[in-house]
Amino acid sequence: MSRGAPSRGGSLAAERRQAYLLVAPAVAVLAAVALYPIGAALWLSLHRHIVVFHERSFLGFANYRFLLADARFWSALGHTAYFTVVAVSAELALGLPLALILHEARRGRGLLRALVLIPWAIPTVVAAKLWAWLLNPSYGLINRLLGGADINWLGHPVLALHTAIVVDAWKTTPFVAILLLAGLQGIPEDIYRAARVDGASSFRIFRSITLPLLRPALALALLFRTLDALRVFDAIYVLTEGGPANTTETLSLYAYKTLMRAGDFGYGATLSVVTFLCVALAAAALVRGLGRGWEEAR
């Protein structure tokens, strides 16, 4: 890429200096609010640090040894993984038809797109509150539609986590659909026309043209949604606070409670660092796996 037209010899160096000057504030802010805290959390996780007692002592890896034997950590990890896999699958499965419908729409596509985006735009706290009301055991609409059933959705150890999954899917599927819609719009109309001339059925066109060409958009949606679902906090905090009996407690929630309820910053930081590592590992694995898929598709 050739940028800027250096008319004199020193001009390129001058331009580079100006570039550094322009990005410096952004780099400084990102370093201060993201890189420093990650390093500091790592350091903190090697300590015993109880905030209210101003107690702080170096422990080495004791917190991590404790974590490996901490059953509550392993069950939080399990809930997080289960939540992520089921929620993201549901979001892709719902987002694809939604994107196809938005793409098909001739009239009112703009309005339709805006309406569908509403769940994406509203705060997750509001989304969780409105679903908690829909699922209210005595007055909720869902139980009424089920013929006056008496299901305690948020109080049931198995149903509660799935309720959180429904809320997450409701809130974030529109984002998936928007990413996929951009992918659909990038597929040239000519290819479809040629396939139709060759007599291909709609299903065949979808399977042999749309789906393969949509692969990059699907991969991107999968990546973004997975990394976002792994850090789930808001919806579950509002719906159940991790209950009943910790059956909906995810990594972020366990770390939050350890930090802010128990005031244990050492172990809380350990849990946060491990959450961070899980997200980083998932990101690396997905980027590698999807990258390889890309090569093969070529």
Partner 1 sequence: MRSRGRGLGYAVAVVALLTFFLGPFVWQVLTSLWPDDQLGRALPRSLTVGAYASVLGGRPFVRWIANSLAVAAATTALCLLIGTAAGFALAKLEFRGRRLLLGAALAISMFPPIATVSPLYLALRAVGLRDQLAGLVPPYATFALPMTLWILSSFFRQLPDELYQAARVDGCTPLLAFRKVLLPLAAPGLFTTAILVFIFSWNEFLYALTFLSSPEKRTVPVALSLLAGEHKEPWPEIAAASVVATLPLVALTILFQRRIVSGLTAGAVKG
Instruction: Identify residues 20-39 at the interface with partner 1 (CB under 8 A).
Output: 20, 22-23, 25-27, 29-30, 32-38
Specify which residues 127 forms β-bridges with.
Answer: none
Q: Which two tokens stand for residue 179?
A: 């990413």
HEC string of 46-65?
CEEEECCCCEEEECCCHHHH
Nearer to partner 1, 66 or 276 (CB): 276
Site residues (CB under 8 A) for partner 1, limited to 96-115: 97-98, 101, 104-105, 110-115
Q: Which of 46, 179, 184, 222 binds partner 1 (CB under 8 A)?
A: 179
Q: Which two tokens stand for residue 181?
A: 């819609």
The distance of closest approach from Cβ of residue 162 to partner 1 in the complex, given in angstroms and rounded to an integer, is: 16
The residue type found at 31 is A
The distance of closest approach from Cβ of residue 157 to partner 1 in the complex, given in angstroms and rounded to an integer, is: 22
Judged by CB under 8 A, does residue 230 bind partner 1?
yes
Q: Cα separation of 194 and 130, whole Å?
A: 47
SS3 264: strand
Judged by CB under 8 A, does residue 158 bind partner 1?
no
Judged by CB under 8 A, does residue 134 bind partner 1?
yes
Select the span of 63-71, 81-89, 155-163, 270-278 touching partner 1 (CB under 8 A).
270-278
Judged by CB under 8 A, does residue 248 bind partner 1?
no
Judged by CB under 8 A, does residue 147 bind partner 1?
no
Judged by CB under 8 A, does residue 62 bind partner 1?
no
The residue type found at 69 is A
Q: Dihedral of the CA atoms 167, 171, 175, 178 (nearest 10)?
A: 100
Number of residues this chain uses to bind partner 1 (CB under 8 A):
98
What are the Cα distances from residue 202, in Å, to 60, 63, 95, 102, 188? 62, 57, 19, 17, 16
